[in-house]
Amino acid sequence: MFGSGNQEQDEANVRIFQTFQNQLIDCSNMFLSFFRKKLGDGKQKLKDVDPPKDSEEIKDMIYDLLRNIKDPEKPNTLEELGVIYEDGIFIKAPTGGGVNVIRVEFNPTVPHCSLATLIGLCIRVKLQRDMPFPIKLNIFIKEGAHTTEHEINKQINDKERIAAAMENPNLREIVETCIKDED
């Protein structure tokens, strides 16, 4: 394309190429600007999406997000182990501010499961990160499914305890591994 031996033609080709290159850069910058406005420079999820009106759609969306969370000590997903199940997801009517109230109930594999709190933390972090609209989230162990369900329910619904847990680098790494989407 360049270096044809004709200096005038080469200069014209360079100008055309530079113009085209500048147009591509301008177009890229426009797209970046648009998405930065929508995503807040990628530091937050898209939260201005209107939630579906149908609670079944929201329930399906939540289940799809939770079904592939990995168990902290087994190679299986929470869905495969029966820890997460569709009937354990409840959607209440949105609050006055339009925030959907979601209750997720899960069933640990054994009544003395030592990782029930960690599983609840994984559920909370996954939904808080990946739901495309604002939610109020309540997470509970299925009634009668764990020997210390009341204490664990209190922990996994306490904002300060959740924040403190996620500040622990070892715990955060485990949560990130469990909730990581497999491609």
| Judgement on whether residues 40 and 60 belong to the same structural domain of the protein | no
Burial of 138 (0-12, 13-18, 19+ CB in 10 A): middle
Asked whether residue 83 is assigned to any structural domain, the reply reads: yes
The percent of residues above 90 in pLDDT, for the chain, comes to: 60
Count structural domains, the chain.
2
Could you tell me the pTM of the whole model?
0.71
**Which backbone phi and psi does 76 adopt, to 5 degrees?**
-90, 165
* pLDDT exceeds cutoff 90 at 8: no
Asked whether residue 125 is assigned to any structural domain, the reply reads: yes
Identify the domain containing residue 106 by its residue range: 55-179
| Judgement on whether residues 26 and 83 belong to the same structural domain of the protein | no
Nearest to 17 by CA among 5, 32, 3: 3
Q: Which tens digit of pLDDT belongs to each residue from 86-111?
A: 999 999 988 888 888 999 999 999 99
| Judgement on whether residues 39 and 103 belong to the same structural domain of the protein | no
Q: Which tens digit of pLDDT belongs to each residue from 78-92?
A: 999 999 999 999 999
CATH number of the domain that 79 lies in?
3.30.300.130
| Judgement on whether residues 100 and 171 belong to the same structural domain of the protein | yes
Q: Average pLDDT in the 57-66 region?
A: 94
| Judgement on whether residues 103 and 60 belong to the same structural domain of the protein | yes
